[in-house]
Structure 1
């Protein structure tokens, strides 16, 4: 590994030429004048990690390479030649504006992990060719259209927060999706997520979701492993949820507590919860309890008494 505490002046290093290397991993950090990496076919390296080498002009040709990480290098483009064995590609925190600037990306047909977070990417249409992707990180870009994702049938983990997404309908096709982080977007409706039968965790904070009615086949524990919708959906705080009721499927029988931290929601009078008689723990702030004195619970009206307004309310 070449890093900052080496005795020689790394800033003078411009080129490595590794002809016969027994090592499997190469790590390079803070070599600001490094401009090229040349490898011959005899190399045994299978993993390369490059960090903060700001002048590198990467044209990577290494058939055996399985993992490549080039982070914080101000990359505006990269060419990947004969890299069909690559499984893991990490190009986070660079200056990529388009996936087309990753030349030959669509040829990485065995790729299972891709991190393009912290760039300036708008168009992700080329991702439709990467059908073996399992983990995908696209957060902190300029993405609005995610239709290319509907071809990623094996995708299990998706981070795409801090973008400009409105429509999540393409995610309906991702039936193996287990985790999705959609925070800080422009999303209004999440009902199309019902196709993700293995979904365990959805994060939706800081969107524009105003209809919080969750479809039964999204939230029903028969179809997925969600046990605490408010926690796993991470719906709060919903800044624009000021007019809609919150409803949950009557079929859900494994919710054991709900933390209501959506401070701006004004109406809670039609909340539907369990069919069975069981204890539900509400953590309602004082402002809400002053204006909402009744909650529908198992088809009965429960009066929230004033003495509970500053405390946790246990309703039976």
Structure 2
């Protein structure tokens, strides 16, 4: 197992930067997500890692070996990486075992070695009992597991996954998330997972690279991203909540109830955007005045959209509905001050 270093990696299509000076250091065995909206550069970055795209600038190293850099571009088959595509890309005329073993056939491995590795790969994704089935007889989740086994059979140092759950329904997505977690536990492989779904990234990855317009916005654990987002953009992309202007505070501060009450009611000094998560807002008899904009039933609770005097909107959870247009009061126990949006 080897660490993967991305040093100022860039990719331009004409004058347009798709990836702009991206720096990441990924430890062996990590499960990393590249997370961002469509067009942010995450799939382009994955294709550069795989060797399907040339880089424009910077370098990519795996365990000290230069994969891509000035004058160097190792082809995909020499990078010790495997890729799982969104479309599965299975051969319809081959059985599950034949699909999984196809890369080894291209490598001209001996039959005994090929059978051993096919068996181990199918066992890792829990599909040994379906080895003789055709892809058309499998569910979407099973087909994705076959694609994962085909990647694993080559014994790559790094597994690359390009939005592998995008074509599955909600029920299968939840099932496959658990399959990916189990696969990672069993193999210990380094995994790089591209997704635009922040819930997927938060539940699977040990660290997340949040990307926007080709640039890295923040690189951190899911817990840190949720609790301490760097900017307004990241705060809006990760989790739910509202951002309100608070006076008398600086970026990067954790604020308690007293500081929030003072800063929200003051107009002295510059205002700093502060993230307030819904679980930190409690409807009470006294506190900060708000107007109820919306009340939505979510089964176990009501989700409230509340408007402050400044016009900023907050979210809160409550055990009973409030009427739109109603005046209420809230107590806010925590906030996190952010950098202003660029």
TM-score higher than 0.5 here?
no
TM-score w.r.t. length of structure 2: 0.28
TM-score w.r.t. length of structure 1: 0.29
Q: Specify which structure has the higher proportion of strand.
A: 2
Q: Specify which structure has the higher proportion of helix.
A: 2
